[in-house]
Structures are given as C-alpha cells and as structure tokens.
Structure 1
C-alpha cells in the first residue's frame, strides 16, 4: 500500500512513517526540506529507500496534489503544535488552511482512508471533564487549540459529505526521538533542568507517540469513517512530577498552585514572548490546559506512563540534551525493539 503523509518530519508523523515502513508499506511524504526527512527518519531505523519525499508545503495546492496523487491512503499529521505566542500566524496558516488543502486534494484523488490528526484539546466534554471520541468540538480560548478546532471542523465537514475521513485525538505525547524537540518534550526537559519549579494544579491525558503511530497504521489499513482517541491515560500534574522523580531518582522540588490563579501569569508571559527573543517556559496554553483538566478513560493498550517518560528522558540524555545528573537513573536507558513493542500492543488490545 502507498501511504502519503504530511508532517512526516514531525514527532507523530515520523513515528507513523516508521510504523508504516515496518509493516511493509511504501511511503510518500511531504516535507519543506528533503534533508530534514532523512534526519527525522534515520534514527528510527527507517529504510529511506521505502520513502519518497516530495518537497513542498501543506498550504501549496500543487505540491499537495503531487504527494497525494495515486496514494491508497493519506495521513494528515502536519500542524504547528506550540503554545508560543510568536507562532500564532503560522498556526492559523498551517493548521487551518493546510487541512483544507490536504483533505480536499486527498478526497479528489480518491484516497481511502484519509486520517486527520487532531488533538484531545479541541473536544468539549459537556457535563463533567471526561472527553470521548464522539464528543463535540468546542471553541477553546487558546490559539493553538482554536486553530486545531477549526481544522477539526473542516475534517468533520468532509465526513458529513460522505468522504472516508477518520479523525484521531492524541493525548499529550511523549517518547523517544522527537526530531523537532516539540513543546511536550521541551517541557519535560525544562522540568529536569530546574526551569519549572511551579506547576498549575489539574492535569491532562498523556500517551506514547509510538502507540499513537501504531494506532494510525491500524486505521490506515481499515478504510472507513470515525473518531478515535489514541491510547493514553489521565495524569495530574502531581502525578506527572511523581513519575519524573521515579524514573530519574531525583528529588525535584515543586510547588503546585491553583491553575486559574496562574492564568494571568500565562497571559503576561504570552504578551512578553511576542517581543522577547528567548523562549519563556511559563506558557498560557500549558496553564489553560490544566485549567480545563480534561480526562480520558484509561486505555489498556497504552503503555505505562513511567515507560514512556523513562524512554523520553533516556533519549534526551543520549542526544546530549540532558546531563547525567539531570537524567538521573534514566541515563543510558535502552529502548525496546519496535517490533517487539508492536506485538505487545496487540496483546494488550
């Protein structure tokens, strides 16, 4: 099967490409920089001979047509995931306009299925805090989530018109080999570097990028429509810090404050960040996520959070992004063989 992938040089996309190649599929991916594809995929053991790279951008209709033409299935994983206020315009362009261009082209070229990668943060739990795949799309008051909600409505419009579009809602994802050092991985690294002594109360669902990648491949091999939360489980910020202490063996002192009380700080740092050249760890989007405190039903197929975080910390250490002291017990942690983990995931399901 030929699978076309957007966002294949990102965290979710690269792991999904690796899962596709392991299952014997050919991959054609869209990337703005061909060399970046090799840098993102080679550490995952991907045979680059099984991957064809089309240079272009998700907002460019011509390059999108080239990447989806003749594809059996399409995975649209491209997006700007960031709570950095300097990237607001880019989020709107890529997340909203890019989704319109990609899904329209995939549909016109007859791909089936078409999997659109959304995020749990766009869902409205209604009464209570637990979101499910069938939950309505809300209107989050945070720019990244708002652009993803707009993209989700584009995907649901295609579904309503009968297109073979499936939408996935990954939790906050961690794991090894993050080619762009995205927001979640950066937040984990900053916590271990001592840059996050204060945490908002609340929490969020956490999952493993490798579980989400395997889940995407299951969907791409089964045409149809649907909505799916990818494997994960809810973790409070207290539990999150506890997991960090467990996998590193470090004390990691932390102060926990009511999330709503920290929102003004997040708004202030967001305003300052627009003119400040260096990244400020205290982000409005992260605090807002904890204020919403969305829950998911625990998925038995999700690997333990300690394993996910431990593998992420071990990879950060091997990549030279954490010192021996910062990584603690996770320094030099070996990673499991991907094929073995795929088999274990199937057993859990």
Structure 2
C-alpha cells in the first residue's frame, strides 16, 4: 500500500512512518524542507528507498494534490503543537487551513482510509471528566486546542459527506527520538533542568509515541473499515505521579511545589502576554496549566508499555542527544537494565 503522510518529520509522524515501512508499506511524505527527512527518519532505521518526498506545505493545494495523487491511503499528522503564544498565527494556518486542504484532496482523489490525527483535548468530557471517542467537540479558548477543535470539525464534516475519515485522539506523547523536540518532550526536559519547580494540581493522559505509532500503522493493515473515531492508548497521570515517575527513573529529588490549578492560571496568562514580546521561551505556559487543570481521563485502554520505560527512554534519549547533562539525567543516563533488554529481544515489548 502507498500511504501519503503529512507531519512525517514530526514526533508521532516519524515513528508512524517507521512502523509503516517495517510492515512493507511504501510512504510518500509531504515536507516543507527535504533536509529534515533524514534527521527525522534516519535514527529510526527507516529505509529511505521506501520513502518518496514531495516538497511543499500543507496549505498549498497543488502540493497536497501531488502528495495524494495515486496514493491508497492518507495519514494527516501535520500540526503545530505548542502552547507558545508567539505561534498563534502558524497554528491557525497549519492546523485549520492545512486540514481543510489535505482532507479535501484526499476525499477528491479517493484515498481510503484517511486518518486525521486529532487530540483528546478537543473532546467534551462527561461529568466525571472522562472523554470518549463519541463525545462532541468542545470550543476551548486556549489557542492550540481551539485550532485543533476547528480542524476536528473540518474532519467530521468531510466524514459526514461520505469520506472514509478515521479520527484518532492521542494522549500526551513521550518517548525517544523526537526530531523537533516537541512540547511534551521539552516540558519533561525543563522539569529536569530545574525550570519547573511549581506544578498545577490535576493531570492528563500520557502515552508512548512507539505504541501510538503502532496503533496508527494498524489502521492501514485493514483498509475499507469506514469512518471511525478512536482513542489512542494512554493512561491518566496526575501531575504528582508525573513528577514522582521522573524522580523514580532519574533517582533525583526534584523539589517541587504543587498548587491548585486556579492559583497558577493567572501566572500562565501573564506569561502568555509577556511571551508575545519576550524573545526567549518561558516554560510557565497557560495552555499547559489549562490542560493539567482540566484533569481529563481518557475512556480507553492504557498502552502496553510501562510508563517508567517511556519516561526512562525519553530521558536517556535526551542525554544521548546532548540535551541533558549526566547530572540532569541522573541514573537514567545509564544503559537500560538487562531485564528490559531481554524483554525487547524476546518481543515482549514492541519496538
């Protein structure tokens, strides 16, 4: 099968491309800069002969047409994922306009399935703060989530008109080999660099990017399934559990103060306003506080990989990549345990 992919040089996109190629699929990528393809896919061992590159932007109708023409299926994973208030314009352009262009091209040219990667944060929770795949789309005020909600409505509209659109809802993803050091990986790194001593109480679903990639690759092994909405495996973690897991995998104390989210929201709003004129990134983002404070639970299955493995592999990769010092990575800078290596060799942990 030839699968056309947007966002293939991003975190989830690159790992999914790797999974698709390992299963024997051919992949055609849309990339604004062809020079980003090898740094994203090379560390994952992707055979470049199985990957064709179309240079262009998701908002360019001609480029989207070249991407989709002749393809059997489409994975639309391109998105600007950031709570940085300086990126509002690019989020609206890529997340909203890009979704309209790519899904429109896929529908016209008959791809099946057309997988649109959304996020759990756009779904309206029930009274118990649980979100289900069949939940309605909310209208969040936070900029990133509002653009993803708009993209979700576009995807649902195409599906209502007969397009075989499958919408997926990943958790907050961690794991190794993040080519662009995305928001979640950067936040974990900031915590280990001592830049986040204050956390809001609450929590959010967390998943492993490798498990999410396998989940998405599964969708292309059985084409013609029709339109669905699917929660990607993940497990809820409170912010206390998140920091505790970092302490466990690094062996560091990581002194942290936890405050009610409503007490931290004003700080997040202030830093968002300052960030628009301040040239350096400020870790205390309103969007992150907002997501933690909502404390959403995903009504789905947890991922197969232990969360300590996900966190440990993320920290080890950050250290190998030179993005954390040995002191900051703590004992996670050491090689994985023999037991973990044996489980991987025996296939008990999917890679």
What range is the shorter-chain TM-score in? over 0.9
Aligned residue number for residue 318 of structure 2: 316
Structure 2 unpaired stretches of 5+: none
Within a 5 Å distance, the mapping from 1:218-233 to structure 2 comes to 218-223=218-223, 224-233=226-235
Distance 1:82 1:197 in 2: 21
TM-score, normalised to structure 1, is 0.96
TM-score, normalised to structure 2, is 0.95
CA offsets 1:93-122 (integer angstroms, 9 cap, x no match):
000000000000011111000000000000
Aligned residue number for residue 180 of structure 2: 180
Within a 5 Å distance, the mapping from 1:191-230 to structure 2 comes to 191-223=191-223, 224-230=226-232
* SS of residue matched to 1:204: strand
Distance 1:326 1:124 in 2: 38
Aligned residue number for residue 241 of structure 1: 243
Structure 1 unpaired stretches of 5+: none
* SS of residue matched to 1:220: coil
Within a 5 Å distance, the mapping from 1:1-349 to structure 2 comes to 1-223=1-223, 224-297=226-299, 299-334=301-336, 344=348
- Which range is displaced more, 303-312 or 199-208? 303-312
Aligned-residue offset at 1:324: 0.6
Count of equivalent residues:
345
CA offsets 1:232-251 (integer angstroms, 9 cap, x no match):
00000000000000000111
Distance 2:345 2:174 in 1: 16
1:72–1:150 CA distance, 2 compared to 1 (3 A): same
CA offsets 1:153-198 (integer angstroms, 9 cap, x no match):
0001111111100000000000000000011000000000001000
- Kept in 2: contact 1:208–1:303 (CA 8 A): yes
Distance 2:157 2:220 in 1: 20
CA offsets 1:273-321 (integer angstroms, 9 cap, x no match):
0000000000000000012111124624431111111100000000010
